[in-house]
Amino acid sequence: MGSSQDRPGGGSRVPIHTSTSPVVRKVGGSSVVIGVDSGAGAAPHSGPDAVPSAKGLSVGTIGLLGAAVIGVSTIAPAYTLSGALGPTVSVVGFHLPAIFLVGFIPMLLVALGYRELNNAMPDSGTTFTWVSKAFGPWIGWMGGWGLLAATILVLSNLAGIAVDFFYLLISQIAGNPGIAELARNVPVNVGTCLVFMAGACWISYRGLQETKRFQFSLVGFQLAVLIAFAVTGLVRAANGSAFDGQMPQLEWFNPAGIDSFSAFSAGVSLSVFIYWGWDTVLTMNEETKNPEKTPGRAAIVVIGVVVVLYLLVACGTLAFAGIGDGELGMTNASIQENIFAALATPVLGPLGVLMSIAVLMSSIASLQSTMISPARTMLAMGHYRALPASFSRIHPRFQTPSYATVASTVIAAVFYAVMRFISEDVLWDTIAALGLMVCYYYGLTALACAWYFRRDAFRSVRGFLARFAAPLLGGVLLLVFFVRTTIDSFDPSYGSGSSLFGIGLVFYLGAGMILLGLVVMLVISRRLPAFFREGIDLRSEPAPG
């Protein structure tokens, strides 16, 4: 007792003691005492048995299986495949499995750089902070904007997919196909979507989190349903009960068979989206039981599971439905943007309802966890005064970025509502634009990594590969795909074929988003000149990380 004899105001700071519950392993270290008066008063813990009240709430560290489950859950394979299969088939046709294999390469190269940056400069602002440190505040701000734009796009897409499956599920349960058509009614669709977003916002605002049991059952269920779907599709193709039966051929796996570089580039930018989030496993070092090995091994397990699953589902879907534009064909524009909604019942029969549950759960869980990402980036940008200070507000009770969470929800909701009224096929176009945006900000982050480590990257072979060569190559590839696809998206027939004033809608969503970012940045730089003058390094406050 009595360690705090020195008072505030007397020139000496009051020490703040930090401690961690015996049942919660603090990430990054044990109890420490912060302040001038170190040591005294930090009472030692008396072991877990001293606290009967908290028994049963133990939050341990994560093993290989747990880390792999988290990795798969961040990818949300059921949702991702449902949204991305159709648009990808429309650009690469039967070479879908090939593009899934190739698309992974730039993602892997960039993820290596991502991990190096995260180890060197852990920070809530991720891309924004790293790019600012490497290339200065202007490019850094645009990198942060790219991340925000991508997450806002994915939020609206997730919510849109969730709405489709919500009505499909009700119609399957009620046995009334008319209910599924409600999702096509724009006001009903937008209204339902806003309710979903508001719910996800509320959950994030209150700081509610998924639990171990929830994650394990969600991931297990998704994998089981997707495998059942793919295998049934293949069996139906073999026994002739498929819609447009095709037996898988080796040619499907040959990327060189894709007609044009445009198709290849568009395919890669879409497959970047399907792997998006996988790299999160690499950054969970301190939460794992064996920080040296678990994250790397988990990443390999996740990618193994996901690639095999994607190839299987790609083959199963192609084998069942073919690439025609007939009723259930994969290039039929009216089913393409949400392919499982149309194919679940024809493939799985009465068990199609399981697919609806899997995609609905996967997209709703993802909606909630994705909402956290832009909020935290905004929080970090607010913290560095690159956005107005209100964005850096943390709720005293829920301990979440309250203002930024509401702001990102409102932006995503308005965006979805406007898009839904402009375009029939909003889901398709947002997926296409999303791939572009991920290419843009991942590419920028990867280049920032190569530039940031350019001096000390040559000290070891491993450092050279992971810190310089891989991210440089990955970043350049992604930016090339970004530029190529952006140019192609100018064509009004690109993506779903929606256009505005003779220019493809995807172009507005990709290049337009970046132009909008430039305008917003100029406005903000007038109002908050300090950040743009000094950048991150010169701020007096230390980086939050």
Q: In whole angstroms, give the CA distance from residue 504 to residue 263.
A: 16
Residue list 429-468, contact with another protein (CB under 8 A): none
Q: Residue 60 or residue 187: which is nearer to another protein going by CB?
A: 60
By CB under 8 A, residue 373 contacts another protein: yes
| Stretch in the footprint of another protein (CB under 8 A) among 70-78, 90-98, 456-464, 504-512 | 70-78
By CB under 8 A, residue 171 contacts another protein: no
Residue list 96-135, contact with another protein (CB under 8 A): 122-124, 126
Instruction: Give least dist CB 115 to another protein, A.
Output: 11
Residue list 494-533, contact with another protein (CB under 8 A): none
Q: In whole angstroms, give the CA distance from residue 94 to residue 315.
A: 9
Identified binder of another protein from the candidate list 12, 36, 38, 60, rule CB under 8 A: 60
Identified binder of another protein from the candidate list 12, 36, 43, 191, rule CB under 8 A: 43
By CB under 8 A, residue 292 contacts another protein: no
Instruction: Give least dist CB 15 to another protein, A.
Output: 7
90: nearest Cα among 509, 422, 432, 507:
432
By CB under 8 A, residue 211 contacts another protein: yes
Q: Which helix (H) or strand (E) holds 88?
A: helix 77-92
| Stretch in the footprint of another protein (CB under 8 A) among 203-211, 229-237, 449-457, 490-498 | 203-211
CA contacts within 13 A on the Cβ side of 133: 21
| Stretch in the footprint of another protein (CB under 8 A) among 68-76, 162-170, 227-235, 503-511 | 68-76
By CB under 8 A, residue 16 contacts another protein: yes
CA contacts within 13 A on the Cβ side of 487: 9
Name every residue whose Cβ is closer than 8 Å to that of residue 61 and which is 6 or more positions away in sequence: 25, 287, 288, 289
By CB under 8 A, residue 324 contacts another protein: no
Q: Residue 179 or residue 394: which is nearer to another protein going by CB?
A: 394
Using an 8 Å Cβ cutoff, are 106 and 274 in contact? no
Q: In whole angstroms, give the CA distance from residue 137 to residue 386.
A: 9
Residue-wise over 228-250: b if at least 16 C-beta within 10 A, else e?
bbbebbbebbeeeebbbbbebee
Identified binder of another protein from the candidate list 74, 88, 192, 430, rule CB under 8 A: 74
Using an 8 Å Cβ cutoff, are 267 and 92 in contact? yes
- What angle is formed at CA 411 by the lines to CA 114 and CA 284, rounded to 5 degrees? 25
By CB under 8 A, residue 23 contacts another protein: yes
By CB under 8 A, residue 2 contacts another protein: yes
Residue 511 one-letter amino acid? A
Q: In whole angstroms, give the CA distance from residue 394 to residue 426.
A: 33
By CB under 8 A, residue 73 contacts another protein: yes
By CB under 8 A, residue 540 contacts another protein: no
Q: Residue 81 or residue 342: which is nearer to another protein going by CB?
A: 81
Using an 8 Å Cβ cutoff, are 323 and 331 in contact? yes
By CB under 8 A, residue 266 contacts another protein: no
| Stretch in the footprint of another protein (CB under 8 A) among 165-173, 210-218, 242-250, 298-306 | 210-218
